[in-house]
Amino acid sequence: MRTTVGIIGAGPAGLLLARLLHNAGIDAVVLESHDRAYVERRQRAGILEQGTVDVLRAAGAGRRMDREGLRHDGIELRFDRRRHRVDFPGLTGGRSVMVYAQTEVCKDLIALQLEEGGPLLFEAEALAVEDADTHAPRVRFRHQGREDVLECSWVVGCDGFWGVSRRAFPAGLGQVFERTYPFGWLGILADVAPSHDELVYARHDRGFALLSMRSPSVSRLYLQVPDGTDAGAWGDEEIWDELERRFTTADDWRLERGPITQKSVTPMRSFVHEPMRHGRLFLAGDAAHIVPPTGAKGLNLAVGDVVTFARALVHLEQTGSPELLDSYSETCLRRIWQAERFSYDMTTLLHRLPGATPFEDRLQLARLERITGSRAAETDLAEAYTGFPLDRG
């Protein structure tokens, strides 16, 4: 099998890249190790930055998002039983975010790819990327019980942290920067209308909590729990009781309860691999970087990566200049490190570290007081949360 761009992974990054290349008249093949049902149901991110929303619309993949997604113009910070709303449009010149689950983004992009795009092979396990430092890289993969080879001009690894793409980098070429946090998120899906119309980020002495949603009738909520926690060890009422404690305010706000349909624990990690390119192999999304979910950056960073690659390849096709491809890693990493910084700041601002001292607790509260009491500090948070324009790199 032969194509111009071999894409490993049919998550939102790989699927969006295929769509962008299709719209630019560049052929691509997408290899995905799981079946279609798995890709369309795996729960991941749910917050789309303004730039991501704009890209999906421009790519022709925004129709259902605009119909069913929930535009949010702010978030609420809670601490010390107080509530403070951060007004995104008022602080950023009009930017907002969209609540629209990754599962839905993938469904939309899969439907477009199968209807209009190039080959999208499910249950096609990439085994290795070979000859990445030549003009003819190859992806060995297994599909329908037999091994095959995808010959490419370029390979983009959108296959996540555990995929084969990053392993194709020679030993000694890459440098890893990472931090593992001593806590995770116990996340639930519940069949109950959200108790607030915007996301609520709560700092509490017992730990962090987040109120989010997937739709007007489905709530998504999270609790900070110790690393290694078993989700099944938490009873439903125990979860609701703890959420209620951490969201407590001095007014008459109440948390609505409902049937819990899913529980899981998400570990917290910061990770960056530099560089993001080896020869004609490019990394994108979780293959190159991971952020703790506090800043809602993971999916949005992946979108930035594939937009940068698609623009660079189109520039090469139109001008013959490899300048943008050669600067791919540098361009992406500027954005990535800002997202890592913001995600780390939000995580350390709102989560209680095991063994935290009273001094550290007071510093957290002082940081929150600064954000809620200073327009400049609040603007910095709003600009980072809604995302910087993708053309700034």
Cβ-based burial of 267 (10 A; exposed 0-12, middle 13-18, buried ≥19):
middle
Does the active-site annotation cover 297? Answer: yes
Catalytic residue flag (residue 385): yes
Q: Would 201 be classed as within a structural domain?
A: no
Q: Which residue segment(s) compose the domain that 123 sits in?
A: 5-177+268-392
User: 357 or 172, which is more confident?
Assistant: 357
- CA 28 to the chain's CA centroid: 23
pLDDT exceeds 90 at position 243: yes
Residue 248 is assigned to a structural domain of this protein:
no
At which residue do the structure tokens 């943008």 appear?
Answer: 324
pLDDT average, residue stretch 167-175: 92
- Quick one: pLDDT band at residue 390, thresholds 50, 70, 90? confident
**Residue 214 placed within a domain:** no
**Model's pTM, two decimal places?**
0.94
Confirm whether 239 is domain-assigned.
Answer: no
CATH code (residue 149): 3.50.50.60
Gap between the Cα atoms of 58 and 219, Å rounded: 29
Q: Is residue 247, in this structure, part of any structural domain at all?
A: no
Residue 238 falls inside a structural domain: no
Q: Does the residue 369 lie in any domain? A: yes
The pLDDT of residue 172 is: 87
Instruction: Report whether pLDDT(248) > 80.
Output: yes
Read off φ and ψ for residue 327, nearest 5 degrees. -100, 10
Task: Point out the catalytic residue in the list 22, 72, 273, 278.
Answer: 72
Residue 258 structure tokens: 């409902």
Among 74, 56, 76, CA closest to 65 = 56
**Look-up: residue for tokens 């299709």?**
22
pLDDT at 389: 74
Per-residue pLDDT, 367: 98
Q: Tell which residue, 217, 284, 215, has the closest CA to residue 65.
A: 215
What is the Cα 309 distance to its own chain's centre? 17
Q: How far apart are CA 189 and CA 308, in angstroms?
A: 34
CA distance 168 to 248: 49
At 295, is the pLDDT very low, low, confident or very high (cuts 50, 70, 90)?
very high
pLDDT > 70 fraction of the chain, expressed in percent and rounded: 99
Q: What percent of the chain has pLDDT over 90?
A: 95
| Residue 92 falls inside a structural domain | yes
* pLDDT 10s digits, 53-72: 999 999 999 999 999 999 99
- Say yes or no to pLDDT of 306 above 80: yes
Indicate which residue of 22, 297, 328, 351 is catalytic. 297
Predicted confidence at residue 392, as pLDDT, reads 52
Q: How many Å apart are CA 187 and CA 266, to the nearest integer?
A: 7
Identity of residue 203: R
Cα separation, 256 vs 261, whole angstroms: 15
- In the three-class reduction of DSSP (H, G, I as helix; E, B as strand; rest coil), residue 313 is classed as helix
pLDDT of residue 71: 96
Q: Kindly state the tokens that stand for 17.
A: 């890249």
> Which residues are within 8 A (CB) of 185 and not within 5 positions of it... i.e. 6 or more apart?
210, 222, 223, 224, 225, 265, 266, 268, 293
CA distance 52 to 102: 12
Q: How far apart are CA 211 and CA 280, in angstroms?
A: 42
Q: Which of 100, 222, 328, 385 is catalytic?
A: 385
Residue 43 pLDDT > 80? no
In angstroms, the CA 211 to CA 262 distance is: 15
Whether 107 is catalytic? no
Nearest to 316, CA basis, from 280, 363, 352: 280
- pLDDT confidence bin for 42, thresholds 50/70/90: confident
> Of 137, 194, 292, 293, which one is the catalytic site residue?
293
Q: Is the pLDDT of residue 45 over 90?
A: no
Q: What is the DSSP letter of 249?
A: -
Q: What is the pLDDT of residues 87-143, one digit of tens each?
A: 999 999 999 999 999 999 999 999 999 999 999 999 999 999 999 999 999 999 999
The 3-state DSSP class for residue 180 equals strand
Question: 289 with 271: CB under 8 angstroms?
Answer: yes
**Which residue reads 């506090």 in tokens?**
294
Q: Tell me, yes or no, if 143 is annotated catalytic.
A: no
- Among 22, 181, 194, 201, the active-site one is 201
Residue type present at position 218 = V
- pLDDT, residue 393, reads 47
Number of domain units in the chain: 1
